[in-house]
Structure 1
């Protein structure tokens, strides 16, 4: 597998360069290689060759990143879980993948029913970084996203999928990292954007700057950009909404590239942010977890490339080997200028949701093009293709929303909210926006006010904190549309947030 071999070459060639800055402590590629070899030795001597899906507790340390590379060198996939998420949810993930082995760099592991490899206690070392022979269809990782029935959805990604992503990014002449770049890595490793923010810096021999758990993320990023003179930023748009009050203090000439994704980038704040980065190229990337992170981008420029729809920057054109198709409810292509659901085809497409054939039938379809069958993923995003071949983002086709860059099914929140409620009443989760323009979750309850403590305690035991509603409104009678459905747009007007 070419990209795995290139990772090995980069680690060995850049041994004296820094690979990571974690909480102001620097680690070299030589340090990285040492950790990889120790973890790889433990994998090779502890885990059976037939075991391919290995749990990974995503701590913010060099051992966790080294574990990913060690697993890949052994031709295995990582199944990441966030240690800050309720244990019950993480166990659901491991049960779904039948994961028996867990790599956990925590001082004490809570995975007592699994075989745990602790990177902190390893002494023996593998002799080299030479990768095993890897089949392209083998899995590289499985990420779990919010599911509609309270069960997280598994999205498996193969080594071929990742190689296709690397090939596509390598084809972009305007984006080239090097071993002097200082790159922001702000994403939790259970979030798909993390793949590009560790993979491409490692391939280039760059240094990644991570965000410690427990800090105020946007403020820590602000400090990193200024104090460490970062050159490459990959962010979700909500972060710059929080940074907006500090824009007058930001004039960072060191930043070469800034990429956005994981949410809508609005025209007004994009222009203000570009003024803070005078030497920077800005890219608005688009792509779901099911299509290996990125599928295409729009090269935003405050004067020459400002294409938008309803105040949201365009998502541009598909990247190398990726096909975009905008369809109607019958999966028939709509004319240029018409709104439809965006579907993605090409070598980055996931093999399908993990053990979920029912969902696969709804989310994937094939059609014949030029004599061959092309498989497409239905994104749930409504888009328009314009006359110049650019794609404009219109909105979601369903009730799936992005909170802090994470994809959230509102129906999952409703599912858990109702599960422990003694009152059998309507509960509807909605996404509402604060004065900074960031999405938050509100829970509307069709009832007179009552104590929701038990409901919220239960939700906190089942879901990560970004899915817990921050606002609750009791409404005596829900508004309904003409066809009898609850009017979610009207519900949102009941929430007054600042």
Structure 2
């Protein structure tokens, strides 16, 4: 596969350059190549060719990043799980993918009882071997799991062809060009789709990525890295700069060349303030869901020339190479310009479909014939948008009750599902996304009842869901407000949560 070959060439070309900075320790591409080769040999010796899906515990270390490339060179896919997420959830992911092998750099793996664990941290030296095996483009490169409405996470498989199409699309952008001297922020968990672009493009360019240690306060650590390591490329979720806002007066970062946002709405007021901190920077507001291999298009924000927004949310711009944007009504028919509808994405980056989820695939994907008679398969994003007269796409809001919390996509129905499962009282519970005083989304749980002790419910939820999905605020409401058509009025419910 083309991009894997490019990774090999980049690593071999930049052996003396730094590849990663993890917890203040630098590793060269030569060291990276050695780790990749050691893990690759371990995979070749222990995992059958027929086993294509391999679990990966996403520790913040050299071996974890090397494992991804080792798996790709061997024509296999990684199925990442976060070590801080409840064990039951991670095991469910391995069950859904029928994963038998797990790569884990932990000193003592908690998975060795039930799985064949390859410890990537204690392997013998071997010769560098970076030549990739032949891989069919439709083979899976990774599967990421997002929140699901039934309490089960949804698997999104991404193929080698999907990633190759993303690389080709970004390569076509004249405005974006990483170089070996770039120092790039990698703030994302490897279970989150944005992590793919924050390690892939630096490695393809011989640049160095700077990670955030697990347990560190992210925004504070980023502030430190920008200041001390003079980072040149930032890829972030917008909520991070909300937390950095009190420090804007202290931030002057002339070294930053590129700053990309995604994974949530970028508000124009804070974007302008942030751009003042980065005097020599090009800012991109990227758009794209996990189901479309991270990025599908972007808007080049500039506080003087490109400030297009709707209700204070910066435009998502135009689709990138080979990607088709289509805005449709409830019958999947294209709507006119300036008419709000659901944004659908078509092109070579589209996932083959949710993992073993026929019902969801029928709801989320459809095929349409274009004006030239070509059939295009589309993914329904659930995002409400419209296309303006100049061809830019603007974001309006979510079509459903799926929200972004700290960049992660969360189904509110999953939170409600787990809360109700453990509750002895059979009462209405509604999960809501609420905006705090910093402008960031937080989760609240509204309960239609007199006050009762929720400790058992919350303890249960903590065993079922990651920390970012646990509501931070609870309100007991005697009677929920309802709309004219009899539905619970979620908008009115939010007024009960006044967060200072």
Q: TM-score, normalised by structure 2?
A: 0.99
The answer to whether residue 270 in structure 2 is matched with residue 306 in structure 1 is: no
| Offset from partner CA, 1:409-458 (integer Å, 9 cap, x none) | 00000000001100000000000011000000000000000000000000
- Look up the match of 2:140: 139
The correspondence of residues 389-408 of structure 1 with structure 2, limited to 5 A, is 389-408=391-410
Matching of residue 497 in structure 1 with residue 499 in structure 2: yes
Report the Cα distance in structure 1 between the residues aligned to 2:209 and 2:203, rounded to whole angstroms. 8
State the partner residue of 1:410: 412
Kept in 1: contact 2:166–2:349 (CA 8 A): yes
Shift of 1:126: 5.3
Q: Work out whether residues 34 and 128 of structure 2, in 8 Å CA contact, stay in contact via their aligned partners in 1.
A: no
Whether the 8 Å CA contact 2:444–2:472 is kept in 1: the answer is: yes
Q: Any unmatched runs of 5+ in structure 1?
A: none
The match for 1:234 is 235
2:264 pairs with 1:263: yes
- The residue that corresponds to 2:424 in the other structure is 422
Task: Return the alpha-carbon distance in structure 2 between the equivalents of residues 127 and 15 of structure 1.
Answer: 12
The residue aligned with 1:85 is 85
Cα displacement (A) at 1:496 = 1.6
Runs of 4+ aligned structure 1 residues displaced above 2 Å come to 124-127
State the Cα deviation string for residues 80-135 of structure 1 (Å, max 9, x = none).
00000000000000000000000000111011200000011210535511000010
Q: Return the alpha-carbon distance in structure 2 between the equivalents of residues 205 and 302 of structure 1.
A: 31
Aligned to 1:244: 245
RMSD: 0.5
Q: CA deviation at 1:372?
A: 1.6
Matched residue, 1:119: 120
Residues 1:459 and 2:461 are matched in the alignment: yes
Per-residue displacement from partner, 1:263-288 (whole Å, max 9, x unpaired)?
00001000000000000000000000
> Do residues 356 (structure 1) and 350 (structure 2) align?
no
Counterpart CA distance in 2 for 1:144 and 1:26 is 31
Name the TM-score, length of structure 1 as normaliser. Answer: 1.00
Query: Within 1, Cα distance between the matches of 2:92 and 2:122?
Result: 27
Partner deviation per Cα, 1:127-151 (whole Å, 9 max, x = no partner): 5110000100000000000000000
SS of 2:121 mapped into structure 1? helix
Give the aligned partner of residue 385 of structure 2.
Answer: 383
Distance (Å, rounded) in 2 between the aligned partners of 1:83 and 1:126: 30
Q: d(CA) in 2 for partners of 1:371 and 1:489?
A: 43
Q: Give matches, 1:455-494, under 5 Å.
A: 455-494=457-496
Counting matched residue pairs gives 498
For residues 219 and 465 of structure 1, what CA distance do their matches in structure 2 show?
19
Residue of structure 2 equivalent to 1:19:
19
Any conservation in 1 of the 2:33–2:128 contact (CA below 8 Å)?
no
What pairs with 1:48-447 in structure 2 (closer than 5 Å)? 48-111=48-111, 112-125=113-126, 127-369=128-370, 370-447=372-449
- Matched residue SS, 2:458: helix
